[in-house]
Chain A
Amino acid sequence: MKKYGQHIVIWLVLAFLYLPILILTFYSFTESTMIGAVRGFSLQNYVTLFTEPELLEMMFGTVSLAVVVACISVVLGTIGAIGSFYSRKGFRGTIEVLNQIPVVNADVVTGFSICIFMIVLLHLDKDTYIPLVVAQTALCTPFVYLSVMPRLKMMDNSLYEAALDLGCDPALALRKVVLPQIKPGIVSGFLTAITLSLDDYFIATYTKPATFDTISTYVVNATRGAHTSIKTALWALSAVMFVIVVGVVMVSNLRANEEEDGGDEV
C-alpha cells in the first residue's frame, strides 16, 4: 500500500482536475443533451458552434479583444520594465508597488473601480470599447512586467555597454542587444496576458458594451437559461479550448526544452 501511496494521491487529484473536462468532451460528440444519457455519435454540437452567428461573434470578439489587450500590455509592460530597471531605486520601488496593486486586488474591485472612474465619473461611452480595453490592460500589464523583470536582472549588462563603446546608438542597442535577451520573458508575458483576458469575467462585465460578450460572460448568461443546442455547443467549445491549451502547452514545453539543450552546448 505504502509503495503505491504517492501514485494514488497524484492520480486521484489528476482525475478530479481532468475527468469533468474529459467526460464533457466525450459527450460533446454525442446527441445527448445531458450527461449520463448515452445517445448516438454526432458532430451537431461542433456544427452549431461554428455556424451559429451568435457563438461565432462571441468567439471572434473574445479572441480579438485578447489579442489587442495582450499587444498593448506587452508594449507597455516591456518598456515599463526596461525603464524601471534603469531608474533610480526610489522611482523603481514606486512602480513596483503600483504594479502589485492589480495583481493582489480582487478582479471585481479592479473592474468596478475602472467602471466608476471612466464610465460614471468621466461619462465615457461603454460602446467605444475604450473602458474595456483600458481595464483589461490594467489587469494584464503587471503580469507582463513581472515576467520581463527577472530576465532583465539575469541579463549580461556588459553586452549593452560594449555595444555603446563600439559606437552603437542607445536606442538601437536596446533593440538589438537588450530585447533579444529578454525575449523569453516577453513571450511568456504575452501568453499570460492572453489567458488572463480570455479568462476574465469580472472586468468585462463592468466595462463592456451591453451587446458585446466574451466567452466568460456568455457562458454565465447561458447558465441562466439558454437554448439546449447552445448549451451543448458550449461543451464543444470546452473541448476545443482544452485541445488548444494542451497543444500550446506542449509546443511551448518542447521549445523550452530545446532552448535549454541548446544553452548547455554553448
Chain B
Amino acid sequence: MKRSWFDRKQLAFPYFIYLILFVVMPLLVVLYYGFTDEEGNISFTNFVLFFTNGRTMGTLVYSLVIAVFVTVICLILAYPVAYILAKGRYARRHSFLMVFVLPMWINFTLRITALKEILTLIEGNLAYYPFVNTVICMVYDFLPFMIMPLFNALTKLDKSMIEAGHDLGATFPQVMLKIVLPLSIPGIVSGITMVFLPAMTNYVVLDMVYNSTYIMGSLIGSYFNAYDWNNGSIISAILLMFIGLFTIITDKIMTKEEA
C-alpha cells in the first residue's frame, strides 16, 4: 500500500482534544470549585451543608417528586401510543411516528408559551396550581422523548411472539404484561433516562408557569446570579453524582437485557 503523510486514525485527535478541553476539564474545575472554599482551601463544608440544610434537601425532594410524576405520566401516555404506532392499527403508516416527534423540533419556550396561554384560559390564574401546571408543561415538553425510544423497542419486538401468546390462550392483558412489557424494558429504561433528568433540572418550565418553588436546576441558576461559584459548583457536582449513578444503573439493566 502507498505510504503517505496521512493516517485515518489521526482524524480522531482534534475531537479528542476538544472533549478533554471542553467536556472533561470544565467538569474537573466544577469539582474543584465545589470542594474548595472561597480562599481555595479544600473543604467539604458546602457538600455537608447541602445534605444538612432543610431548604436544599427540600429542593432535592421536590425535584425528585416532580421528576417521578412527570416520568410516570409520560410513560402512561407514551406507552399505548408507541404500541399502537408500532404494533397496532397504525403500524403500517410508517411516517406517523414523525407526527408525534415533530413538536420536539419547535423551540420549547415557544411551545410552553402556547400551553401556558391555554392553561391560563382554563384555570384563570396559573398561580393557583403551580405544581400541577409544572407537571403538565413538562409532560407536554418531554412526551416525544418518551414515545421515540418506546416505539423503537416495540418495533423490534417480533409480532409472532404476541400471536403465539394469543394462540396459546392468553388474554390481551396477559400478553401485554407477560410478553410485550418485559421485552420492551430497554425502551422503557432509555425513555426514563430521557425524561427523568431534564425534569429534575429544567427550571425554566417552573419559571414560566410562575412556580416559585425551587428544583435542583434553579439552585444552580440562583447561585450563578449571585456569583456564588463554590455553591453553584457543589450543586452541579451533586447532580453529576446522580447522573453517574443513573447511568450505571441503566447500563446494568441494559446489558442484563441484552444478555
Which A residues form the contact surface with B (CB < 8 A)?
6-7, 9-10, 13-14, 16-21, 23-24, 27, 34-36, 76-77, 79-80, 82-84, 86-88, 91-92, 94-95, 98-99, 101-102, 104-110, 112-118, 120-121, 134-135, 137-138, 141, 145, 164, 167, 169-171, 174, 195, 198-199, 201-202, 205-206, 215-216, 219-220, 223-224, 234-235, 237-238, 241-242, 245-246, 248-249, 253
Contacts and interface: CB of A to CB of B under 8 A. Distances in A.
Given A10-B81, A83-B12, A24 B100 contact: no
B113 A171 contact: no
A87 B113 contact: no
B4 to A, nearest CB: 5
Interface string B165-203: 000000000000000000000000000010001101111
User: Interface on chain A toward B: helix, strand, loop, or mixed SS?
Assistant: helix
A224 B113 CA distance: 12
User: Interface on chain B toward A: helix, strand, loop, or mixed SS?
Assistant: helix
Given A10-B90, A13-B77, A220 B105 contact: no
Given A17-B140, A80-B12, A113-B236, A253 B98 contact: yes
Closest 10 A/B residue pairs (Cβ): A80-B15, A83-B12, A83-B11, A113-B26, A117-B26, A219-B109, A20-B114, A86-B8, A24-B114, A106-B201
Contacts of A224: 207
Nearest to A254: B95
B19 interface: yes
Most buried by A among B12, B29, B89: B12
A35 B118 contact: yes
Contacts of B7: 170
A113 B229 CA distance: 10
A118 B117 CA distance: 38
Given A10-B90, A34-B117, A249 B108 contact: no
Contact of B14 (A76, A104, A113, A219): A76
Contacts of A245: 102, 105-106
Contacts of A237: 110
12 contacts: A9-B81, A16-B143, A20-B140, A24-B117, A27-B117, A76-B14, A80-B12, A84-B12, A104-B197, A167-B2, A169-B2, A238-B111
A202 B220 CA distance: 11
A14 B12 contact: no
Contacts of B19: 95, 98-99, 101
Nearest to B232: A112
Contacts of A195: 104-105
Given A104-B197, A108-B201, A109-B220, A246 B102 contact: yes
Contacts of B11: 79-80, 82-83, 86
A114 B22 contact: yes
Contact of A164 (B2, B27, B193): B2
B224 interface: yes
Given A169-B2, A195-B105, A199-B108, A117 B29 contact: yes
A110 B12 CA distance: 22
Interface string B220-240: 110010000100110010011
A206 B204 CA distance: 13
